[in-house]
Amino acid sequence: MDHDPKTRPEHGAAERRDDPPTGAAVFGLRRLVIETCDRLGPAATPEAIARDLRAEGITVTAEEVAGFCMEPY
């Protein structure tokens, strides 16, 4: 039908995805920051966490990471 948003290109384009979502899209940045912080241990500063996440292909800044960190930096 013409009214179905899944069949209309102007409405359904965002729903069609051939590539799987990234880890950031599935888990969310908060969870990724917490897991990376746990993995890095005492060396986990916002800069180190951001650098590690960027190495995984996730675009993030140290300021964004600091908002999710449990420790005050």
Domains held by the chain: number: 1
Asked if 58 and 32 count as a contact pair (C-beta separation under 8 A), the reply is: yes
Residue 46 falls inside a structural domain: yes
* The pLDDT value given to residue 73: 54
Place 11 in a pLDDT band, splitting at 50, 70 and 90.
low
Q: Is residue 11 part of a domain?
A: no
Distance of alpha carbon 62 from alpha carbon 51, whole angstroms: 8
Query: What does the alpha-carbon distance between residue 48 and residue 66 come to, in Å, rounded to a whole number?
Result: 11
Residue 31 in domain:
yes
In a domain, 65, yes or no: yes
- Containing domain of residue 32, as a range? 22-73
CA distance 24 to 47: 18
Write down the pLDDT at residue 28. Answer: 87
Work out whether the CA dihedral 66, 67, 70, 72 comes out positive or negative.
positive
Task: Supply the pTM of this predicted model.
Answer: 0.61
Instruction: State mean pLDDT over 28-35.
Output: 90
- Which is more confident, 11 or 54? 54
Q: Does residue 51 lie within any of the structural domains?
A: yes
Q: Band of the pLDDT at 67, cuts 50, 70, 90?
A: confident
Is 14 a domain residue? no
Contact 57, 25 (CB under 8 A): no
